[in-house]
Structure 1
Amino acid sequence: MPRPSAVAGGVTPSRVLAAEVLADLRKGFLLDPSFERRAHVLDARDRRWAQELLWGSLRRRGWLDGLLAERVSGGLARLDADVIDLLRLGAYQLLEMTSVPPYAAIAQTVELAKRRHGIGASKLVNAVLRRLERDRTERGRDALAGPEPSDPGEALAQRHSHPQWLVERWRERWDDAEVDALLAANNREAPVVVRPWGIGADALAAELTAAGVRLADPGAAAVWAEGSLQLAPGAQLTELGAYRQGHFFVQDPASTLVTQYAAIPEGATVADLCAAPGGKALELARRASVVLAGDRSHARLRRVQANLDRLHVTRVLPFVGDAREPAVGAADVLLLDAPCTGTGTFRRHPDARWRLKPSDLAVMPALQRQILRAAAAVVRPGGLLVYSTCSLEPEENDAPVDDFLAAHPGWTLEPPPAGAVPDAVLDGGRLRVLPQRHGVDGAFAARLRRSGDA
């Protein structure tokens, strides 16, 4: 990919934006909304370049930190957090972005450090990045980090740039080969997968191809979500006529599998209590008479509404509401796509692995249990509640479901009808989608049936 164009002052807009987004993350903002809020100043090519730099440097942050720490006297801990982020951006360009000449990666990062922190910081950044580039040239990229740790968990964490505490959790459940596969999957760029709307998959494929969009090999998208189309990297979706005409929306196959697993009856009244960004509500609307799509975030619901308007959807009705106090009447089907740690979506949200804390796995399940109890109260007798997450963690998946069933004898776990989803993603009647096994995002779901007299 070509380098972004330079502007007055010597630093490209893409690099300025990358530094600003990383500063946002340190303040507690999430990667996607911060990027979207700032990226409107970029053209399509520079936007893609900035996205590659940001997402890539976050995926490889642990690895980059190890390389940089060896080349900073006294280690990274003594540096300002913003300077560390600038070093990560420069190092990632040097080591991973082959389209960027080394002199440009160094000079641009040095100038950015000078702008943000003055001449002293720029001299430090210059020295560290030049040393890194010299070592890469003399020793080769793969030899930069030195020998791998002897401890298996530490070695996996270092090799794949994940927090070690999280790696050790996963090693308790899977063997090292499977953990290695999961970590590698988290570091691959997530493909763009689209779902046709108001048009057949073949017709959409022809429309996209005619517009110059390359379709990727079917791969996991076709295996797990029939009708989905996986696009080759680089497509600028919002510029396509098919996008403006509402012929598709973006959805990972794991999310599509949740709605297929739900297997709702034709004409059902459905409530989706944590609906944003809205893709599952759209899928459910293919069969439902109406989907009441609630979310507590006004901003996120505005994006849902914009998508509904673009797709000309009338059967999905968004509303602002807190799932802990559901503002809906009795529903035939209730989807509770619960807030979670999102450990199944690290390839899409690389900032999440660094933001997550062990304590989150105590706090989040308590919220999930609270919402699950509240949601059950608005399912009609004989109705269906589908609990789902995009987490891989048992505390957020099986544990809340098992506890709920133990405390509510009028409810039972009900597997989906035969053929609703492939057997390979079913585990004891529950949906369990794993990145390392299925090549898509992680997801969990359980169908809970309320008895007719409960």
Structure 2
Amino acid sequence: MSNPDRHGRRRPRPNDRSRPPRGRKGPARPPVEDAARQAALDTVAAVRERDAYANLVLPGLLRERRISGRDAALATELAYGTCRARGLLDAILDECSDRPFDKVDGPLQDVLRLGAYQLLRTRVPEHAAVSTTVDLARAAVGSFAAGFVNAVLRRVLEHDEAGWVDRLAPDPARDAVGNLAFRHAHPRWIAQAFADALGDTGEELREALAADDARPAVHLVARPGEVSADELAAMTGGDVAPYSPYAVRLDPGAGDPADLEPLREQLAAVQDEGSQLAALALTRAPLTGSDQRWLDLCAGPGGKATLLGALVGLDGGTLDAVEPSAHRAALVRGVTGDLPVTVHEADGRAPELPAGSYDRVLVDAPCTGLGALRRRPEARWRRQPSDLAALARLQRELLASALGLVRPGGVVAYVVCSPHLRETVETVDDVLRGGGVEQLDARPAFPGVDQLGDGPHVQLWPHRHGTDAMFCALLRKL
């Protein structure tokens, strides 16, 4: 007899011969050589076992195992795609297993997620997806798991992705946000945060969620005074980006940007165009009086500090860069060593720098990173709503510190890579209520960028601008 599932329906289960016996392990049979899928599986396992970052683990595995070309592309698609779609895959696999999916052993969960992703979201032939996943299960877990994996995946094949979504997603008439969250494999709380920031629960919310699943272009930043965007595009085969005067965009399949000569020579670096625009907005805000001392209060790992240091250096000014982590402070020193940048290893909330002495201050505050989910495959499932309270408090403290360090008439740019209102407009509003500061209209500091809304802050979006969802507010100390 089948057991009822959580919806009250009877849950068909694989026959007993295909179920992995509890407490018994059989000898593993070496799988057919499949370096790409093994690298993808090892990446997914690293994310689950030690909270690793997929975009850091996989490139190392590809280099170490000398996987390139089509195999590297397949490994990338499977690893990142499986991490992005985890919540959706888990819901489907829960329906297809004879036990709650969260009770299945972790290594077997990894294998099943990888197999289900191939069946539902790739063009891999069904027989190949099933057989290779069964082989991975034998190697990773043991021969006893082969029948179970085969049976579960055969059940997954009963519907395509759209069919499963129609069966399992919340009713759109009752929960439009929940329905879109499920369809686009986002936790509901993140989809709600996007809806709140957009003021939309329909088509634009769908576009914003869908953009997180699209493979993003690689964005480069040319170092001011060293190379132009046109020259960088010619050297890398990329395209000059539409907004930042220093940005170049590369095709997602262009290979590892670290291999490009301009990056090896530190003429350029990888940096999202939205991050460039937020840093540049600080430099474009109107200012009277001196403009020689700039400060990056949250500088690690050094991308914005490098851009700002190069720009202020062109006019004979200097940049102080503050970073509390010794490791990240070393990274900042490494990328800014030939620029007029002084790195201070200190807490930005109390950096022991002279009060009221800086003309421009950047606060690129730690945040949930919800604006860069397309670049961090597993991040949507790692972050929790409970993270917000501590982050919001830290953000307010850093912004208050910046306002104490900037001179009267000076400008502070508050930047986070998130559209969550608690991290963006609510943080700024809290500081404004304290008095002594006015908010500037940031939109003129983003020339040529369309769809910026009513201001005075700027919120960029992947689906509107092709950038990460960066938020920027400009404040002037009275």
User: TM-score when scaled to structure 2?
Assistant: 0.80
Deviation at 1:417, TM superposition (A): 8.6
Show the counterpart of 2:43.
21
**More off after superposition, 377-386 vs 14-23:** 14-23
What whole-Å deviation, never above 9, does each CA across 1:307-355 have from its counterpart, x for those lacking one?
446xxx4233444322222243332221110011111111111311111
Q: Is the 8 A contact 1:263 1:420 kept in 2?
A: no
Instruction: Please give the alpha-carbon distance, in whole angstroms, between the structure 1 residues aligned to 2:329 and 2:135.
Output: 40
What whole-Å deviation, never above 9, does each CA across 1:367-421 have from its counterpart, x for those lacking one?
21122222332223332221110111111111121111211x2222223594653
- Specify whether residues 319 and 131 from structure 1 end up closer, same or farther in structure 2 by C-alpha distance, changes over 3 A only: same
Q: Is the 8 A contact 1:263 1:416 kept in 2?
A: no
Aligned pair partner of 2:111 in 86, 91, 112: 86
Show the counterpart of 1:252.
272
Instruction: Please state if 1:150 is matched with 2:198.
Output: no
Counterpart of 2:227 in 1: which secondary structure? coil
**More off after superposition, 360-369 vs 19-28:** 19-28
Counterpart of 1:258 in 2: which secondary structure? helix
AA of the residue aligned to 1:126: N
Show the counterpart of 1:42.
65
Q: Is the 8 A contact 1:326 1:378 kept in 2?
A: no
- The 5 A counterparts of 1:324-403 are 324-329=349-354, 330-403=357-430
Aligned pair partner of 2:81 in 56, 62, 72: 56
AA of the residue aligned to 2:227: I
AA of the residue aligned to 1:150: D
Aligned pair partner of 2:259 in 234, 239, 242: 239
Instruction: Please state if 1:194 is matched with 2:215.
Output: no
Matched residue count: 426
Instruction: Please state if 1:185 is matched with 2:211.
Output: yes
Deviation at 1:431, TM superposition (A): 2.0
Q: Is the 8 A contact 1:414 1:448 kept in 2?
A: yes
Q: Is the 8 A contact 2:177 2:201 kept in 1?
A: no
5+ residue gaps, structure 2, are: 1-29
Q: How many percent identity over aligned positions?
A: 34
Show the counterpart of 1:159.
183
Q: Is the 8 A contact 1:385 1:447 kept in 2?
A: yes
AA of the residue aligned to 1:437: R
Q: Is the 8 A contact 2:193 2:420 kept in 1?
A: no
Instruction: Please state if 1:32 is matched with 2:55.
Output: yes
Counterpart of 2:311 in 1: which secondary structure? coil
Q: Is the 8 A contact 1:272 1:336 kept in 2?
A: yes
Show the counterpart of 1:4.
none
Aligned pair partner of 1:129 in 144, 153, 156: 153
**More off after superposition, 169-178 vs 65-74:** 169-178
Q: Is the 8 A contact 2:44 2:82 kept in 1?
A: no
- Specify whether residues 195 and 122 from structure 1 end up closer, same or farther in structure 2 by C-alpha distance, changes over 3 A only: same
AA of the residue aligned to 1:57: T
Aligned pair partner of 2:235 in 207, 210, 218: 207
Counterpart of 2:96 in 1: which secondary structure? coil
What whole-Å deviation, never above 9, does each CA across 1:117-160 have from its counterpart, x for those lacking one?
22333332222224434x3xxx6564354445423233212211
Q: Is the 8 A contact 2:324 2:348 kept in 1?
A: yes
- Specify whether residues 424 and 9 from structure 1 end up closer, same or farther in structure 2 by C-alpha distance, changes over 3 A only: closer
- Specify whether residues 442 and 420 from structure 1 end up closer, same or farther in structure 2 by C-alpha distance, changes over 3 A only: closer
Instruction: Please give the alpha-carbon distance, in whole angstroms, between the structure 2 residues aligned to 1:433 and 1:38.
Output: 33
Show the counterpart of 1:429.
456
- Specify whether residues 234 and 36 from structure 1 end up closer, same or farther in structure 2 by C-alpha distance, changes over 3 A only: closer
Deviation at 1:448, TM superposition (A): 1.6
Instruction: Please give the alpha-carbon distance, in whole angstroms, between the structure 2 residues aligned to 1:52 and 1:304.
Output: 31
Instruction: Please state if 1:412 is matched with 2:434.
Output: no
Q: Is the 8 A contact 2:440 2:476 kept in 1?
A: yes
Q: Is the 8 A contact 2:309 2:339 kept in 1?
A: no
Deviation at 1:170, TM superposition (A): 3.7
Aligned pair partner of 2:310 in 283, 286, 299: 286
Deviation at 1:255, TM superposition (A): 0.8
- Specify whether residues 416 and 144 from structure 1 end up closer, same or farther in structure 2 by C-alpha distance, changes over 3 A only: closer
5+ residue gaps, structure 1, are: 1-7, 210-214
Aligned pair partner of 2:298 in 274, 283, 295: 274
Instruction: Please give the alpha-carbon distance, in whole angstroms, between the structure 2 residues aligned to 1:419 and 1:334.
Output: 15
Instruction: Please give the alpha-carbon distance, in whole angstroms, between the structure 1 residues aligned to 2:420 and 2:128.
Output: 42
Q: Which has the larger radius of gyration?
A: 2
- Specify whether residues 304 and 11 from structure 1 end up closer, same or farther in structure 2 by C-alpha distance, changes over 3 A only: farther
Q: Is the 8 A contact 1:11 1:111 kept in 2?
A: no
Aligned pair partner of 1:230 in 232, 242, 249: 249
Instruction: Please give the alpha-carbon distance, in whole angstroms, between the structure 2 residues aligned to 1:132 and 1:96.
Output: 12
Q: Is the 8 A contact 2:462 2:468 kept in 1?
A: yes
- Specify whether residues 333 and 36 from structure 1 end up closer, same or farther in structure 2 by C-alpha distance, changes over 3 A only: farther
Instruction: Please give the alpha-carbon distance, in whole angstroms, between the structure 1 residues aligned to 2:292 and 2:58.
Output: 38
Counterpart of 2:98 in 1: which secondary structure? coil
Q: Is the 8 A contact 2:36 2:74 kept in 1?
A: yes
Q: Is the 8 A contact 1:58 1:350 kept in 2?
A: yes
Deviation at 1:277, TM superposition (A): 3.0
Q: Is the 8 A contact 2:281 2:445 kept in 1?
A: no
Q: Is the 8 A contact 1:258 1:431 kept in 2?
A: no
C-alpha RMSD of the superposition: 2.8
